[in-house]
Amino acid sequence: MRTIRYTEEEQTKKERLEARISPRAKELIEEAAMLEGRTVSDFVVQHAQEAARSVIEKYNFIALSARDSKSFVEALLNPPAPNERLKRAAARHKKLISEK
């Protein structure tokens, strides 16, 4: 059996999470926790955190195609000249900043 070490943050648990699940789901979770040598709570919390991190990473990650990547880099290296609308916005910004 392996030794599990907890960080200070993990040892000072202050929040509670409850869920209603089917008897079969509970059996499945209990068996998996037992196989890993963990309590059901530790098992559920660990895997819920891993799933949460995965979902957050998925929504924070932007994947570009090769063509999109090439266009992005090209725009960074060779930006287009500013159009009139951008020039007016820059002038308004400069005026607002210099008035402060």
| Cα dihedral 39, 41, 43, 45 in deg (nearest 10) | -160
pLDDT per residue of the chain (100 residues) written in tens, 0 to 9: 566 666 766 667 788 889 999 999 999 999 999 999 999 999 999 999 999 999 999 999 888 899 999 999 999 999 999 999 999 999 999 999 987 6
In the prediction, which pLDDT does 12 show?
75
Distance in angstroms (rounded) separating the CA atoms of residues 3 and 11 = 15
Distance in angstroms (rounded) separating the CA atoms of residues 26 and 44 = 11
In the prediction, which pLDDT does 55 show?
95
In the prediction, which pLDDT does 92 show?
95
In the prediction, which pLDDT does 47 show?
97
pTM of the model: 0.55
Query: By C-alpha distance, which of 48, 19, 18 is closest to 32?
Result: 48
Distance in angstroms (rounded) separating the CA atoms of residues 39 and 42 = 5
In the prediction, which pLDDT does 62 show?
86
Residues 6+ apart with CB under 8 A from 53: none
Count of alpha carbons within 13 angstroms of residue 34, beta-carbon side: 6
